[in-house]
Structure 1
Amino acid sequence: MAENNSSVVLFERFLQRWMVSQEHYLDELLTTERNCGEYGEKEMTDLVSRVLTHYQLYYEQKSRVIERNVFVVFSPPWFTPLERTLLWIGGFKPGLAFRIVAEAVGELSEDQRRRMNELQEETRTEERLLSDELARIQETVAAPPLMELARQAGRRRDGEILGSDSVTELLSSALETVVRDAELLRMSTAVKVVEILTPIQNVKFLGAVGRFHMKIRTWGLQRNREGGAND
């Protein structure tokens, strides 16, 4: 398949547009947080809903890449090396949401703390199960080094699964299931956190999530520029 038609190239183009919208949403969240007295709960709830829909669009587009070549999401060419060091099964670890809540949202009610603690424990359990499943898959199929497959997939950029032998095909199928489960856990965890928080707390939470992602990306791009300047 021609490079211009590859799922990776198309996703990278989508991501560029998505990041522009992400910056606009972040500005809106921060403005709402600073001037929360001027906004009603319905306005804040509508904003939170639009931001979640924006993230859902990201996962839907990424799903197409996973379907074509799951290996590439373990070392995504659309992320900087710094961003890739933070990845867990193709994306950020779901448990990161609880750290952001603790640092950015502020005081929770007793009921909110109880529900958040229960959700956090459930999420940790699911993370462990998925990590164990990923390790089991690699051991069971005697897989080649996963990161090397990911790097090769990124270099090819044609959306084709590397190799045609049964081991690679089996690995691809098994990994796709694990990655999709991890994607579902990432999104479902965020949605459940939002259900626990109040509208203004959600504005703070999603604003902090956006700041974190933008900061990591900015640092990663800066490192890339500095590394290029030193070559």
Structure 2
Amino acid sequence: MAAPGMATVDRLYLPRMAAAAPAASQLENWGDSGLVVSSPFTDPSTDVDDSTDKHHHALMGCAGAGGEQRGVDSSVVSKERTGDHKIERRLAQNREAARKSRMRKKAYIQQLESSRSKLMHLEQELQRARQQGIFIASGGSGDGGHSVGGNGTVAFDLEYARWLDEHQHHINELRVALSSQMRDDELLVLVDGVMMHYDQVFRLKSFATKSDVFHVLSGMWMSPAERFFMWLGGFRSSELLKVLASHLEPLTDQQLMGICNLQQSSQQAEDALSQGMEALQQTLADTLASAATAVGGADNVTNYMGQMAIAMAKLSALENFLRQADLLRQQTLQQMHRILTTRQAARALLVISDYFSRLRALSSLWLARPRD
């Protein structure tokens, strides 16, 4: 016979155990089927969840595969087209840059060839000038003055030949800059460089005039064709402005008026200097003529020496005429630069240089002509 306590326990717990038995077996069957019941003591991230997520994404991928694929394709095509346009534009820019580079190189090579031929001509002219200078140095009865004058002319010829070579280098840079469409501020630097280089040759001529005014006046340091058009040791400013007028179009009304006024004022100054030179020649001729009649006797010798001293004093005015002529040429160039724009001034300097280059080339052809 069971104890009363035990009987009570049996009545309370046995039915519950019996009810729990099917549940346990059911849990065992769920375990076999691969399903897992989560509990507070198990990890929620399981393989089932992973497989479920993969399945969900696969379904979503199937559902939106068509639209998403079309979106990706259109985006790729758009990016490819944009990339193609950039590549084409870059290639076009490279081709244009290469074309301009070839043009600049071709122009530079042509200028080098031209400079080489001009330099050969200058060397011939310089050799001729050196011979003339040496002859002057050794030709007089007095060694002092003539020797100094001869050395001065040779030094001037050397300096002028060097100046001419440097001038051609400046002109080549200016020509390349104009063909490459350089900015105006950069182009102005080159234009000012050429203008300052012209100032240098005027200083050289001033020193040479003090050394031997007749050498500068005769133009023996220039080519024969340049000497043919020479006026008082250089070019006529008014004639040079006429050459420029047809190469600087289009000009504004104000610029055209300024060029015309500059040409008129240059012409007037040239006429005044020419008249002064004629008057000087006439007074020198009269002085020498009066001195030529004084022959014989001590008084006549004294009179002769006095007349020659007067002639020497008058002849010293010749240096002043040459300086004024060069000053007129220098001021004409500077005034032209002020009237014109930067690009017009650059073209004007090229026209001037080309004009004198053609004169030197004409001289070379003339000297090299066949002689029967």
| Same-fold call, TM cutoff 0.5 | yes
Task: Give the residue type in structure 1 aligned to 2:273.
Answer: L
Residue of structure 2 in register with 1:224 after alignment:
367
Is 1:210 matched up with 2:360?
A: no
Give the Å deviation of 1:141. Answer: 2.2
State the percentage of identical aligned residues.
Answer: 26
Structure 2: where are the runs of 5+ without partners? 1-143, 289-306
Secondary structure of 1:141's aligned partner = helix
Moved more, 4-13 or 91-100: 4-13
Contact (CA 8 Å) 1:41, 1:199: kept in 2 or not? yes
Q: Structure 2: how far apart are the matches of 1:122 and 1:80?
A: 28
Structure 1: where are the runs of 5+ without partners? 146-163
* Larger relative contact order, structure 1 or 2 (CA cutoff 8 Å, min sep 6): 1
Residue of structure 1 in register with 2:231 after alignment:
88
Q: Which has the higher helix share?
A: 2
Give the Å deviation of 1:167. Answer: 4.7
Give the Å deviation of 1:191. Answer: 0.4
Q: CA RMSD in A?
A: 2.2
Is 1:113 matched up with 2:256?
A: yes
Task: Give the residue type in structure 1 aligned to 2:227.
Answer: R
> How do residues 30-41 of structure 1 correspond to structure 2 at under 5 angstroms?
30-36=175-181, 39-41=182-184
Contact (CA 8 Å) 1:141, 1:170: kept in 2 or not? no
Task: Give the residue type in structure 1 aligned to 2:186.
Answer: E
Give the Å deviation of 1:230. Answer: 2.4
Contact (CA 8 Å) 2:284, 2:315: kept in 1 or not? no
Contact (CA 8 Å) 2:149, 2:211: kept in 1 or not? no
Moved more, 133-142 or 164-173: 164-173
CA-to-partner distance for each residue in 1:51-100, whole Å, 9 max, x for gaps?
A: 01111111111111111221122212212222111100111001133123
> How do residues 172-191 of structure 1 correspond to structure 2 at under 5 angstroms?
172-191=315-334
Task: Give the residue type in structure 2 aligned to 1:34.
Answer: S
TM-score, with structure 1 as normaliser = 0.83
Give the Å deviation of 1:177. Answer: 0.9
Residue of structure 2 in register with 1:55 after alignment:
198
Is 1:10 matched up with 2:155?
A: yes
Evaluate the alpha carbon distance shift between residue 62 and residue 144 of structure 1 in structure 2; reply closer, same or farther with a 3 A threshold.
farther
Bigger Cα Rg: 2
Contact (CA 8 Å) 2:287, 2:310: kept in 1 or not? no
Q: Structure 1: how far apart are the matches of 2:286 and 2:366?
A: 32
Contact (CA 8 Å) 2:148, 2:211: kept in 1 or not? no
